[in-house]
Structure 1
Amino acid sequence: MKLPKGLDGVVVDQTKISSTQNAVLTYAGYPIKELQNAPFEEVVFLLWHTRLPSADELKAFRKLLVSKMVLPDETIRLMTRIAKEPQHPMSILRTTVSLLGTTNDVERDDPPRILGKMLTAIAAIIRIRDDQPVMHANSDWGVVENFIYLFSGERPTAERVAMFNTVMVLHADHEFNASTFTARVVASTKADYYSCLTAAVCALKGPLHGGANEKVFKMLETIRQTGQEPTAYVNDQMAKGRKIMGFGHRIYKNGDPRATILREIARQIAHETDNDAYFALQEQIRDYMFEKTHLHPNVDYYTALIYHCFGLDKKTFTMMFAACRTAGWLAHITEQQAEGCLIRPSSEYVGQTNRHYRADKEEM
């Protein structure tokens, strides 16, 4: 029997959180195209409760989330030492999430508290790595505005908040992707939320998952710095058997709907920040890749440029993915733990059989 590699097409469980059925991304039944401009807090509420909040609920929920965007002084002190280590930011985040699980107060399995602390910790890692002071959230602002301020040190314009809000909404969840499934496996053991999130961060770090956005921008930088023709670069990489990051998706064969939305944001912010050359380069590669392979850009392709235009170092791009995806991870952890079923699949053994220890030792 031929087994599907990577569980491709295998339905392992049911969920009410999000779906990619028929290559259409929906959150609790709502198409992502209709949610792209919804407030991030509203989308988080939807993912956690599978319904939209009332106006009063949304106002209270936003206030609650922002109130949790604070870290104890002792946690910041320990993070300062960790973040200074010459490791990849995702390795620092992995250790930080585990740290939060040991230094946090007694209400550890509290999604609003955890999301607020995750966003603040990710912003703090960026600031500490840049030798900048850790900022503090403003209770009068929303989650996205605060998050940009926390990692950049500057209050963003309403237009920039709207752009980044859409980025966070589009990344908030995506069914049983690798990191989410990892979180659910750990959650099925009844482990605490921070253990589940630590595992999810580890899965997201890989270049075939969340790490792809960093690789995309590295490709763009390499092409510009070497002056190589984009088509020549693509041909050379493919001739060496290397993937062109940011293209293709196991589910979206005719194009990632998130990439379509992000492309316009990338075009706009690239123009506003004098990064038109990068966007033009992306368009050249996009057209050639479709001509050569019929592959479309995925969510990582344009996100890479957007993050760069927000002044972020490419090594922090995957952490930004984690900041957005934490909302979905928490929804899935909660759903899986409520299900109360241990995830324990079987495998097909294809190794040698009928071996005997003593006989083999005598032959040696």
Structure 2
Amino acid sequence: MELPKGLAGVVVDQTKVSSTKNAVLTYAGYPIKELKDAPFEEVVFLLWHTRLPSADELSEFRKRLVSEMVLPEKTVQLITRITYEPQHPMSILRTTVSLLGTTNDVKRDDPPRILAKLLTAIAAIIRIRDGQPIKHAQKGWGVVENFIYLFSGQRPTPERVAMFNTVMVLHADHEFNASTFTARVVASTQADYYSCLTAAVCALKGPLHGGANERVFKMLETIRDTGQDPVQYVKDQMASGHKIMGFGHRIYKNGDPRAVILREVARKIAHETDNDSYFVLQEQIKDYMFKATHLHPNVDYYTALIYHCFDLDKQTFTMMFAACRTAGWLAHIVEQQAEGCLIRPSSEYVGETNRHYPSR
């Protein structure tokens, strides 16, 4: 059987979690454009149960998640010890996810507790890197409001909560992307949740998957700080054989639907935080890239600016991606383990044959 490189377009299994069929992103059958303003907790429930919760279920689910946004003291001590320069935050997160599975204060964690703990751990890493004290979740607030508070130290406005909620919803899942497929491969062995999530984080760490948002903002910083013409900068980079991060997508040939939504969020928050110059640069680059290559921005392009406007260090951008995507990872892990089938593909050997070890 001849297969395309990278399994592009190959259907390897079935799922009820999400779909990108016909370049339309849906979660359990609901178009993402209709879910963009839905509460993050509601979307997580949908991904995990493939149905929307009732009002009472949503209220209880939110309370449960917020109540679990706390880390065992042992975990905090270990995260503090490993969080130091010059380690990249994703390296710290990779170790932290594994630590969460070995510093439990209960016999076995379930998805709600794992998601809550991971969000809290990511916020803690950010606070420790910034030399700031770790904050504690507030009862009565939602998950997104608490998450922003935990990593920023300040209670966000309702408008900021709504914007970040949209970001988290749009990043919550995306079918069988590299990190999700990695999680499912590990889950197919019936490994524990933390082993599956650690593997997913390792896959996300690569710049061709989750690391693109960091490189997008690095490009914007370089252009603005050096005063270069953005179009000429892009031309020079492409002439040198460098990839312009934040453009193109294997599935969305006519534009990433998430980027369309995030563009408006980026424009709004850039204006509110005096970062209009960055948005202007993005628009100039976007227009040129389409003219020169017919490539559209993907989800990483505008997310980079949004994260910057939330005063996040660009090195933590991919951790933010992980914070959002954990909801989807957990949905796929549960689904794969219930399937009970070991993922073990075959390969085509193309090396030398008919070789024999010399006799001694």
TM-score computed with the length of structure 1 as normaliser: 0.98
Partner of residue 164, structure 2: 164
Pairwise mapping of residues 313-332 of structure 1 onto structure 2 (< 5 A)?
A: 313-332=313-332
- Aligned-pair Cα RMSD in Å: 1.0
AA aligned to 2:189 is: T
Partner of residue 43, structure 2: 43
Q: Is the 8 A contact 1:127 1:134 kept in 2?
A: yes
Partner of residue 227, structure 2: 227
AA aligned to 2:89 is: P
Partner of residue 91, structure 1: 91
Q: State how far apart, in whole Å, the 2-side matches of 1:113 and 1:341 are.
A: 26
AA aligned to 2:214 is: E
Q: Does 1:202 align with 2:168?
A: no
Pairwise mapping of residues 192-271 of structure 1 onto structure 2 (< 5 A)?
A: 192-271=192-271
Q: State how far apart, in whole Å, the 2-side matches of 1:352 and 1:2 are.
A: 20
Q: State how far apart, in whole Å, the 2-side matches of 1:8 and 1:137 are.
A: 42
Q: Is the 8 A contact 1:246 1:297 kept in 2?
A: yes
Partner of residue 335, structure 2: 335
Partner of residue 153, structure 2: 153
Q: State how far apart, in whole Å, the 2-side matches of 1:115 and 1:314 are.
A: 23
AA aligned to 1:239 is: A
Q: Is the 8 A contact 1:108 1:193 kept in 2?
A: no
Partner of residue 284, structure 2: 284
Give 1:107 shift. 4.0
Q: Is the 8 A contact 1:20 1:26 kept in 2?
A: yes
Q: Is the 8 A contact 1:109 1:192 kept in 2?
A: no
Partner of residue 64, structure 1: 64
Partner of residue 115, structure 2: 115
Secondary structure at 2:318's aligned position in 1?
helix
AA aligned to 2:183 is: A
Q: State how far apart, in whole Å, the 1-side matches of 2:137 and 2:109 are.
A: 22
Q: Is the 8 A contact 2:204 2:211 kept in 1?
A: yes
Q: Is the 8 A contact 1:28 1:51 kept in 2?
A: yes
Partner of residue 32, structure 1: 32
Secondary structure at 2:101's aligned position in 1?
helix
Give 1:20 shift. 0.1
Secondary structure at 1:315's aligned position in 2?
helix
Partner of residue 124, structure 2: 124
Q: Is the 8 A contact 1:108 1:114 kept in 2?
A: no
Q: State how far apart, in whole Å, the 1-side matches of 2:173 and 2:137 are.
A: 24
Give 1:229 shift. 1.0
Q: Please, which moves more after superposition, 232-241 or 283-292?
A: 232-241
Give 1:2 shift. 4.6
Q: Is the 8 A contact 2:72 2:105 kept in 1?
A: no
Secondary structure at 1:103's aligned position in 2?
coil
TM-score computed with the length of structure 2 as normaliser: 0.99
Q: State how far apart, in whole Å, the 1-side matches of 2:243 and 2:102 are.
A: 39
The one-character-per-residue Cα deviations of 1:63-94 (angstroms, maximum 9, x if unpaired) are 00001100011111111111124200000000
Partner of residue 299, structure 1: 299
Q: State how far apart, in whole Å, the 2-side matches of 1:70 and 1:159 are.
A: 25
Q: Please, which moves more after superposition, 25-34 or 108-117?
A: 108-117
AA aligned to 2:58 is: L
Q: State how far apart, in whole Å, the 2-side matches of 1:171 and 1:290 are.
A: 24
Q: State how far apart, in whole Å, the 1-side matches of 2:286 and 2:268 are.
A: 17
Partner of residue 181, structure 2: 181
Q: State percent identity of aligned pairs.
A: 86
Partner of residue 348, structure 1: 348
The one-character-per-residue Cα deviations of 1:250-271 (angstroms, maximum 9, x if unpaired) are 0000000000000000000000
AA aligned to 1:260 is: V
Partner of residue 310, structure 2: 310
Q: Please, which moves more after superposition, 55-64 or 99-108?
A: 99-108
Q: State how far apart, in whole Å, the 1-side matches of 2:2 and 2:37 are.
A: 43
What are structure 2's unaligned runs of at least 5 residues?
none
Moved beyond 6 Å, runs of 4+? none
Secondary structure at 1:357's aligned position in 2?
coil
Q: State how far apart, in whole Å, the 2-side matches of 1:10 and 1:67 are.
A: 41
Q: State how far apart, in whole Å, the 1-side matches of 2:106 and 2:81 are.
A: 24
Q: State how far apart, in whole Å, the 2-side matches of 1:78 and 1:315 are.
A: 21
Partner of residue 273, structure 1: 273
Secondary structure at 2:258's aligned position in 1?
helix
Q: State how far apart, in whole Å, the 2-side matches of 1:203 and 1:105 are.
A: 28
AA aligned to 2:239 is: A
Give 1:108 shift. 3.2
Partner of residue 138, structure 1: 138
Q: Is the 8 A contact 2:67 2:139 kept in 1?
A: yes
Q: State how far apart, in whole Å, the 2-side matches of 1:317 and 1:323 are.
A: 10
Secondary structure at 1:86's aligned position in 2?
coil
Q: State how far apart, in whole Å, the 1-side matches of 2:14 and 2:346 are.
A: 19
